[in-house]
Structure formats: C-alpha cells, structure tokens
C-alpha cells in the first residue's frame, strides 16, 4: 500500500488542526494509503518528520499548518535524493504557497484535494544551507515583519503585518545593500529586498503577477530608500501589479543571488526570522512535486 505522512501543527487553524488532520487521514485511507500522523511540539519537528518520510520512501507528505510549518517540512528534503509528493492543508494566516498553486484556502476543500491524482512541479529556493518555498526578504522592513507575535497574527490576520510595517516606515528604515545576481550588481540604500518564487507574497497576489511556480526564476525587487510620498507611490504600484515598472524599485529575475551589507541585517524566510546577511540564494528548478486540484 501507498504510505502517507501528515505533519500537523496543532496550534494552527484556530486550534482546529487536530480535527482537520483526522479528517485528512480518513480521506487518505479511503483512497488507499496507510497513514502516519505526526504532531509538531517544538521547532524543527516538522523537518525531522519529513526527513523520516524521505528515508522511509513515503509516497506523500501532507503539511497541515501555516507557511512556517510548510517551510520546516520542506527543509526535511534538503539534500535528499528521494522526495515524496507534497500536499498542503493551509491553516495559517497567509498561506502564500497554497494561493500560488490554487490550492483551496478552506481546509475542508483542501482535504478534498488529497483525492486528486494531479501533481505539478514546483521550484524551490536554497539560501545558504536551507530551503525556502516562497520568499526571502531582507532589510529593516523585513526584520519588523518577522517580529509579529503569533497572537497578533491570529487576531488580525494579514493586517498584523500591515500594522507592523507601518510602524517601521515611520522610522529611518533604509539599509545599505549590495545585491549581486547572475553576474550583475546593484548597490545602494534600500528599505526592502525581496526574492520570490511565486506571485503571492504576504497575501499580495500582485507582487510579481507574471511569476509561475515552475518558471525557473527568482522574481526580485529592491525598494529604494524613499520618502513618505514615494513610499505611497510604491504601494500603489504594488496593488496595481506594476511594481517592476516603478522608478523607486529595481526589479530583476535571476537564478543565483548574493545579498550583503555592511550593517547587521536579518532576513525573513517564508514569513519567519531567518539568517543574517550575507546570503547566497540559488534556484532549484522543478525540485518537488505538489498535489493540486484535478481541474488545474
């Protein structure tokens, strides 16, 4: 029989995660899987569970939680020659990866997708020695978003990030960055650098509207040091899906990137606090197979 592992964060989905995990297990059993359910209790548990699934050659790994749980799960596949098919039950605040793949954000509907036989290749990014599945950001604005408390995310959802970002922008938020990519270079003061794999970042589905999950490119934006008016102009461009044409933004696509700074800058990786600069980013094209709805 086929083997499936469900990795569930019991604190996700307004603490209804265990209910959804049980329903997902029942769905998988009906379509012929033997199912193992593992609950995370501490940091990196999802990574270790996924490592076990790779070593034991499970057919399917289901990440039931938010983008943070998904990020940890994916990192269980680092340097593994065998990678199970990935399925996602989105229970978090934003769920960017699910949005990009048109996986239903409603957990009940996402569980129904577990009956699908359709998969899609997805690019993955590697930053230093870890993987990321959606986005890496650097700069003072990115640092502030990493610090949004879990209870704020639960109460305010996406607007928790907006609130924290606004607080940062009233301060002097620029940092001096040097970005080297595919033998090109940008250097200057910036409030934010973003390298995205998908068109959905922080719930904005218009950041890189042309981005596809399997296009073999990192879609990158450097927001230059701006005053209040210029920041508002950048925000308008973002909402219009026209950020790459803003004169306050340096936009490019790449497959390899090095970001560094003379300042101490911490990154935000898939919505969580990450490593400090300098960083080296590499694209891993079509690295994993993801279970998607039959109609896509």
Active site members: 272
Instruction: Please give the Cα distance from 200 to 197 (Å, whole number).
Output: 9
Nearest to 112 by CA among 12, 26, 208: 26
Instruction: Please give the Cα distance from 274 to 7 (Å, whole number).
Output: 22
Helices then strands, each counted (H, E), the chain: 9, 15
Q: Which two tokens stand for residue 56?
A: 């034991």
At residue 168, φ and ψ (nearest 5 deg) are -70, -40
Q: Name the one residue in this structure whose structure tokens are 């949004």.
A: 148
**Burial code of 166-186, b = ≥16 C-beta within 10 A, e = fewer?**
eebbeeebbbebbbbbeeeeb
């Amino acid at each position: 029989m086929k083997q499936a592992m469900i990795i569930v964060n019991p604190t996700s989905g307004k603490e209804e995660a265990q209910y959804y995990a049980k329903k997902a297990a029942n769905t998988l059993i009906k379509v012929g899987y033997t199912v193992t359910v593992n609950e995370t209790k501490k940091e990196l548990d999802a990574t270790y569970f996924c490592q076990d699934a790779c070593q034991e050659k499970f057919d399917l790994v289901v990440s039931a939680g938010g983008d943070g749980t998904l990020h940890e799960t994916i990192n269980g596949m680092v340097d593994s020659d065998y990678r199970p098919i990935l399925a996602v039950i989105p229970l978090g605040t934003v769920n960017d990866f699910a949005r990009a793949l048109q996986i239903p954000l409603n957990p009940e509907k996402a569980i129904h997708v577990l009956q699908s036989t359709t998969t899609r290749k997805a690019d993955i990014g590697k930053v230093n020695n870890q993987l990321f599945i959606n986005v890496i950001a650097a700069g003072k604005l990115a640092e502030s978003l990493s610090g949004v408390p879990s209870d704020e995310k639960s109460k305010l959802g996406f607007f928790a990030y907006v609130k924290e970002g606004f607080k940062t922008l009233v301060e002097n938020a620029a940092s001096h960055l040097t970005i080297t990519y595919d033998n090109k270079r940008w250097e200057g003061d910036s409030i934010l650098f973003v390298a995205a794999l998908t068109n959905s970042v922080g719930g904005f589905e218009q950041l890189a509207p042309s981005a596809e999950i399997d296009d073999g490119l990192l879609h990158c934006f450097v927001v230059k040091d701006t005053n209040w008016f210029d920041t508002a102009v950048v925000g308008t461009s973002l909402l219009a899906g026209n950020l790459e044409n803003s004169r306050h933004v340096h936009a490019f696509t790449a497959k390899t990137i090095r970001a560094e700074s003379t300042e101490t800058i911490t990154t935000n990786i898939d919505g969580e606090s990450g490593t400090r600069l300098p960083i080296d980013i590499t694209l891993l094209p079509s690295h994993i197979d993801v279970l998607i709805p039959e109609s896509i």
